[in-house]
Chain A
Amino acid sequence: MFIFVLYPFFMAITFSDEELLEKFRDPNTKESAFENIIKKYQEKLYWHIRRMVIGHEDANDVLQNMFIKVWKSLDNFREESQLYTWLYRIATNESLTYLSKQKKNASLSIDNEESSLSNKLKSDTHFDANKLEWKLQMAIQSLPDKQKIVFNLRYYDEMPYEEMSKVLETSTGALKASYHHAAKKIEEYILNN
């Protein structure tokens, strides 16, 4: 009985992207397939977004809006790209759009985007300025958006450059250079602060 109850959950995790897409196209299994897609990728996408926008509520908004867009456009998804990289691309674009809106709002006030995100970091109840991991986060926020994304995808998500190239539609050579510059800047930031 216990195994029977847990069976759908484990099945969802083990479904391949191709199987999930096939079930999504069937009206009878469309919703359950989408639920499984959410469960399969929610954590990876959440953390990718969270590292970009910092605040949980912001990340939650972006993630939910992103899945709404996925639901609307998944019928038109072309299978020549992987679902995984396609979802990351949408999450990245949604995060950047969100930050862009924040930036416009920030331009009306004294704060800029970087200091706004840094302030969000500092306002976290667990923030510890002396802890190296928090310093690393502060250093990442000092990077330009593109370098920030590349560094996070490589450092935290351990994404191969080939896949990252599909997500960001940038050559692997450019991504490697971007990661190199980002790592150097972060090192410099931490050592000087």
Chain B
Amino acid sequence: MEKNQEILDELQAISPFLATISRENVFTVPENYFENLHESVFEKLLTVEFDEVKLINKKPDMPDGYFDGLSNQIMQKVKELPSEQSTFDLRKIVGNENVFSVPPDYFNELPVAIMARISASKKQPAKVVSMRTSWMRVAAAAVVAAVIFMGAFFMINSGNNGGFSAINSKTVQDPAALKYNSEKKFDEGIASLSDEEIVNYLQQHGNILDNELLLKNTDVSEMPDQMEYLLDEEALSNYLNKINNKSLEKQ
């Protein structure tokens, strides 16, 4: 009561009006609320704890400290296994069947075949490569080079105004090629070459001609730039399809 009076006196000093108001509790609670509150709290507590137990996925019958010694127990069990079982053996899982095959008796015949080749190589005299070069072979090569060069020159410059009339000592560096300065002479030169000579020459020098022809017939402005290659995997494929369609249209 003394404390109560002290508080009332304090309020009286601050607000005499407020001190006159009764402290009646205007709020109500449901019947028996406080009698049953502790039961409600325990029910909620069980629910909360059950949820937390579920969260950590702890089994009710799992002994305390189960995981603390689990790794040691497993390692001990591994050590107790027979040595051939304690190592990881992939063959037991995958099997060791060989999926490849060899001809029948291949391995029986292989040593015989190898020895036969060795003895045969001993009987043959060593191949001697002559360092001398025939002037005839050099001359033939020069003719082939000149004719093929003129063919390439003609193809590369086919779109220009020149043609055979453009062949002169300024445009053609090889003097031997100058004599093929007309279509007739060029055709005769081509006719004098064998297929083997043409094929051999193109095998050695074809890349240069291919590159020149490619550059000649390519519109660089239409080519994809570096960024397009990075952004689009299909950039090159699309470009090749585009120029392929153009060439088909021309045909």
A: which residues have CB within 8 A of B?
A: 31, 35, 38-39, 42-43, 46-47, 50-51, 56, 60, 63-64, 67-68, 71, 124, 126, 131-134, 136-137, 154-156, 158, 160, 179-180, 183-184, 186-187, 190-191
Contacts and interface: CB of A to CB of B under 8 A. Distances in A.
Interface residues of B, number: 29
Contacts of B161: none
Contact of B26 (A38, A134, A184, A187): A134
Interface of B: 3-4, 7, 10-11, 14-15, 17-18, 21-30, 33-34, 37-38, 40-42, 44-45, 48
Nearest to B4: A158
A191 B18 CA distance: 10
Given A38-B37, A39-B38, A132 B21 contact: yes
Top 10 closest pairs, chain A to chain B, by CB = A38-B38, A187-B15, A183-B14, A67-B41, A183-B15, A133-B26, A133-B24, A35-B38, A42-B37, A187-B18
Given A68-B45, A160-B3, A184-B15, A47 B37 contact: no
Given A46-B29, A126-B28, A191 B38 contact: no
B30 A47 contact: no
B228 to A, nearest CB: 49
A38 B38 CA distance: 6
Given A38-B38, A68-B45, A184 B23 contact: no
Main secondary structure of the interface of A (DSSP, over half): helix
Contacts of A158: 3-4, 7
Given A35-B38, A154-B7, A158-B7, A133 B14 contact: no
Nearest to A176: B10
A58 to B, nearest CB: 12
B38 A133 contact: no
28 contacts: A31-B42, A35-B38, A35-B42, A38-B38, A38-B41, A42-B38, A46-B34, A47-B27, A64-B40, A64-B44, A68-B41, A131-B26, A133-B21, A133-B24, A134-B26, A136-B21, A158-B7, A160-B3, A179-B10, A179-B14, A180-B14, A183-B11, A183-B14, A186-B15, A186-B18, A187-B15, A187-B17, A190-B18
Contacts of A179: 10, 14
B7 A133 contact: no
Nearest to B24: A133
A64 B37 CA distance: 8
